[in-house]
Structure 1
């Protein structure tokens, strides 16, 4: 087995607890709710649920060093542990779970994905030195807009922030969706920005990307 990369994202205590809790589920399908039927092959025992490392391999991905105009989601594949299916009593419920996971994964961080510790930012919340979190997100997105204009010779202008998601701790990674004009008095176009905010402002925000939002059904 290949050695685990030293910079791989590790589970938080909460994530580890959730993983263990899921593994400890002993669920069955179609046995009428008789949990005493130990001979039923549909029951998933704790020992059959796999190791912690196997579960975490489906939850966390190697984290690349940030680089402008490079999306760390590129080249990744959605991984769901096969035994997750056993935790759903019907195929319909599992399909709903899978579709939600797939939609979040294909958004490349721009939709909430709790399975990867990516959470929605409450934009109307108060932020120090800012009226609201929305204003703070606009400032961070403008770091990416500035880099985009400088490197691509564009005149993109942010108009307003639509939504944002975040992940991380000492390095706070933000995925910001906003409306913009590509030229003066041009039509509104939806864009995405990805930026790292460092805890304590020890370093300036690091712009990762700025791009038009993909059209529905397309890939970035």
Structure 2
């Protein structure tokens, strides 16, 4: 014969429903956070937007066009890893710029600490995937692209063995403003930079005898 549930049973059932409901809320929040923090297509490991790309431009007598062509040539030929301040076009744009380690950055971390962390983030993934033990030593330079976050092109020195010589490496990471964490995109021994055409090389200052 069916009986009515006791007060204790009702309380237990209520607690169970509350627990399940709360768990569902937390799971939804975790899934939401994970979705917001998941890699996007341009953040996939090994993705290099400069693969199989070259920059070719016609010579121009126009100063602004020359300035822009020179900048793009340095960006493409270095794959974004070496863009000196003297070749930045004198115009407002959201492009590749050398990172100022002495400038203000995030409230709770200096620019140098952030870039050290980013280099180690990429190197940790490189070591994990290649079963190596490359050890970070120091950052040499950084180029950043600031638009919807911070995309960092980091050149750093590392040792491939405990007593080994320093070797130049490159790391690329990206953090978008809607993501909780930065994502490592690539890490590799630095390849040789494509040569810069002579017309785009910095001109030495004239000497006076």
Which stretches in structure 2 are left out of the alignment for 5+ residues? 1-40, 196-209
Asked which structure has the greater RCO (Cα within 8 Å, sep 6+), the reply is 2
Match of 1:186 among 143, 160, 164: 164
Distance in 2, Cα, partners of 1:109 & 1:67: 17
Shift of 1:75: 1.7
Question: Could you tell me which residue of structure 2 aligns to residue 177 of structure 1?
Answer: 155
Aligned: 1:110 with 2:81: yes
Distance in 2, Cα, partners of 1:85 & 1:217: 22
Deviations 1:9-30 (A, max 9, x none): xxxxxxxxxxxxxxxxxxxxxx
Question: Could you tell me which residue of structure 2 aligns to residue 85 of structure 1?
Answer: 60
What are the residue-to-residue correspondences of 1:20-59 with 2, within 5 Å?
A: none
Question: Could you tell me which residue of structure 2 aligns to residue 211 of structure 1?
Answer: 188
Match of 1:76 among 42, 53, 66: 53
Deviations 1:47-98 (A, max 9, x none): xxxxxxxxxxxxxxxxx63221121110222154x5x714149xxx95x975
Match of 2:108 among 104, 129, 145: 129
Deviations 1:163-210 (A, max 9, x none): 10111322321100111111212111111000002226x331111100
Residues 155 and 172 (structure 1), Cα distance of their counterparts in 2 relative to 1, 3 Å cut: same
Q: TM-score, normalised by structure 1?
A: 0.58
Distance in 2, Cα, partners of 1:216 & 1:78: 13
Q: TM-score, normalised by structure 2?
A: 0.60
Larger Rg: 2
Root mean square deviation, CA, Å:
3.0
Contact in 2 for aligned 1:123/1:163 (Cα 8 Å): no
Distance in 2, Cα, partners of 1:173 & 1:124: 18
Contact in 1 for aligned 2:96/2:145 (Cα 8 Å): yes
Residues 104 and 170 (structure 1), Cα distance of their counterparts in 2 relative to 1, 3 Å cut: closer
Report how many aligned residue pairs link the two structures: 148
Distance in 1, Cα, partners of 2:112 & 2:63: 37
> Which structure is higher in helix share?
2
Shift of 1:129: 2.1
Match of 1:151 among 129, 132, 155: 129
Which stretches in structure 1 are left out of the alignment for 5+ residues? 1-63
